[in-house]
Amino acid sequence: MFLSFFFLTVTMTAQRNTGYISLSLPDRGIGLMYERNFNHASAYVSLTKGKYQINNDSPLNSIRFACGAIKQLNQRSYKFLYGAGLNYSHVWGNSDLPKLVYFPISFDIAFGGKINKTAVLVLIDPIKKVSQLNFGYTF
């Protein structure tokens, strides 16, 4: 009886989580992302840390936190993902960059796909022109 309950519980919660390694392209950042699936939609949270190097100036450190929602379109052998979210970024250091870079709150557009247990998701901030590439595994 206990074993059948255990296997039923594991079956019901299978493949609901996806863990990602995140690469932030403009600031050479690295981080982690987590996605929780709820039927045909999911929620994500992401944290990355990077360092901008502009010309010969001293580097600018950055931390970026993002969260949002993703919709999944199921196809025959893969899932297409799209969504949106908000992000908070903190950049510190001395530079003559536009004030927009230092403004902390912005939004993301997300798109990507899943095949079997592997996932790729791209987050783009169209205002700050920052992108984040995420490679994940569903468990």
Question: For the segment 67-90, what is each residue's pLDDT rounded down to a tens digit?
Answer: 999 999 988 778 899 999 999 988
125 and 22 Cβ atoms separated by less than 8 Å: no
Torsion of CA 28, 29, 30, 32, to 10 degrees: -140
Of the listed ranges 47-51, 76-80, 105-109, 135-139, the least confidently predicted one is 76-80
76 and 47 Cβ atoms separated by less than 8 Å: no
What pLDDT sits at residue 14? 52
What pLDDT sits at residue 4? 45
More confident: 91 or 45:
45
- Whether residue 10 is predicted with pLDDT greater than 70 in this model: the reply is no
91 and 52 Cβ atoms separated by less than 8 Å: yes
- Whether residue 22 is predicted with pLDDT greater than 50 in this model: the reply is yes
- Whether residue 31 is predicted with pLDDT greater than 90 in this model: the reply is yes
- Whether residue 98 is predicted with pLDDT greater than 50 in this model: the reply is yes
What pLDDT sits at residue 111? 96
Q: What is the pTM of this model?
A: 0.80
Select from 18, 14, 131 the least CA-distant residue to 81. 18
Architecture per CATH, domain 18-138, reads as: Beta Barrel (2.40)
What pLDDT sits at residue 130? 85
- Whether residue 110 is predicted with pLDDT greater than 50 in this model: the reply is yes
Of the listed ranges 3-7, 18-22, 77-81, 89-93, the least confidently predicted one is 3-7
Q: CB atoms < 10 A from the CB of 113, how many?
A: 17
The amino acid present at 4, given as its one-letter code, is: S
The Cα 91–Cα 106 span in angstroms is 13
